[in-house]
Amino acid sequence: MTNLTLERGKDESLRRFHPWVFSGAIHHFDHQPEEGDLVRVLTAEGDFIAIGHWQIGSIAVRVLSFQDEPIDDDFWQRRLATALDVRKGIGVAGNPSNDTYRLCHGEGDNLPGLVVDIYGQTAVMQAHSVGMHVARFDIAKALKRVMGDGLANIYYKSETTLPFKADLGQENGFLLGGDADNVAIENGLRFHIDWIRGQKTGFFVDQRDNRSLLERYSKGRSVLNMFCYTGGFSVYALRGGARLVHSVDSSAKAVELVNANVALNFAGDPRHEAFAEDAFKYLQQMDADKYDLIILDPPAFAKHKDALRNALKGYTRLNVRAFEKIRKGGILFTFSCSQAVSKDQFRMAVFTAAAQSGRSVRILHQLHQPADHPVNIYHPEGEYLKGLVLYVE
């Protein structure tokens, strides 16, 4: 295995268990590794400090362990078994009314570069690093061992998450099974999950707890679910007793998905309607006072730090429209899933929007990603989802 020696003093963040080595911290390799290879990381003094996957790019090594241990079948199995224990502990796994959850959240589960979402009997596995791609068959084997009979399919979906330049010729496909049955249960509600054509692994698992909260606010309200995608919030609002629910997404495919999911749970329910429309246009053209509960869950406006300023303006512009139109005494659920936008920056963007609209606004809840998307305390960058629930007087 290749040994990588760090520049003098560049071991500091590893001593604090931060799981990345940046390319600028590398002094030399004892021999040149291939992308995706395991490398042992040594301090300038020649002491072992970490082992991880190497690839070309600014994040050069993603650390798998701070112990000098083999990265073998047993290693993958132990890490995934721990991840499963966590999910059982928080009640999302081994729960008859919920079989939709994130089993592995990269750095949050000490497996940087690996995401695994569970949908009933199917695991959708996503590699964000070349090393995890190279290890995919070993990981799939360990996953099957850990999950046992409860797992029939593993769909590998990394075509768009792997670095393009690594030129891996990657294709999506099943590593185990091949079932077409794709209905999964979240908090007793059923959803079709399109892991083949859908965004990400097919569903936004990270909004589960926030959808539950929304359900509690829905009774008797007129709900607008903006950026609805598969309609998670809409279905919860219907169960919560909403008077009407309108789902909006610019994608016609999303509108099909939300209609299918409403039909799966509340077939023929006249309270629901979905529209394929641009969010900004819809909010501008809709009548004031039409809705007293609005959800804004847009895609990440800033994928990178350099897009930050525009992203913050985007959040302000979007939220102003909702503040201007929401009925008196309305509730706004507003989110940002941009990792580059901090909680404080998002709150400031929403504050600016509230001030521009002149409405009196109270913060009722401050929301974040759920416990099956844990944040490694040594890797605060793992925190990405934030939301506010606001009372608009």
Amino acid at 305: K
Q: Is 249 in the site for ligand SAH (CB under 6 A)?
A: yes
Q: Is 303 in the site for ligand SAH (CB under 6 A)?
A: no
Helix (H, G, I), strand (E, B) or coil at 186: strand
Q: Measured from the CB atom, is 249 or 372 closer to ligand SAH?
A: 249
Q: Is 90 in the site for ligand SAH (CB under 6 A)?
A: no
DSSP 8-class letter at 304:
S
Amino acid at 365: H
Amino acid at 222: S
Q: Measured from the CB atom, is 6 or 254 closer to ligand SAH?
A: 254
* Dihedral (Cα; 56, 62, 63, 64), 10-degree rounding: -110
Structure tokens, 217? 């606010």
Closest approach, Cβ 107 to ligand SAH, in A, equals 22
Residues 97-156 that bind ligand SAH (CB under 6 A): none
Q: Is 67 in the site for ligand SAH (CB under 6 A)?
A: no
Select from 383, 385, 301, 393 the least CA-distant residue to 108: 383
Structure tokens, 229? 């995608």
Closest approach, Cβ 56 to ligand SAH, in A, equals 30
- 175-204 mask for ligand SAH (x: CB under 6 A)? -----------------------------x
CA end-to-end span of the chain: 63
Structure tokens, 194? 């399109």
Helix (H, G, I), strand (E, B) or coil at 353: helix
Structure tokens, 267? 């077939």
Q: Measured from the CB atom, is 282 or 323 closer to ligand SAH?
A: 282
| Residue from 207, 319, 336, 338 binding ligand SAH (CB under 6 A) | 207
Closest approach, Cβ 71 to ligand SAH, in A, equals 34
Closest approach, Cβ 306 to ligand SAH, in A, equals 20
| Residue from 43, 230, 261, 376 binding ligand SAH (CB under 6 A) | 230
Dihedral sign for Cα 44, 47, 52, 54, please. Answer: positive
Binding positions for ligand SAH, rule: CB under 6 A: 204, 207, 227-230, 232-233, 249-251, 254, 278-279, 297-299
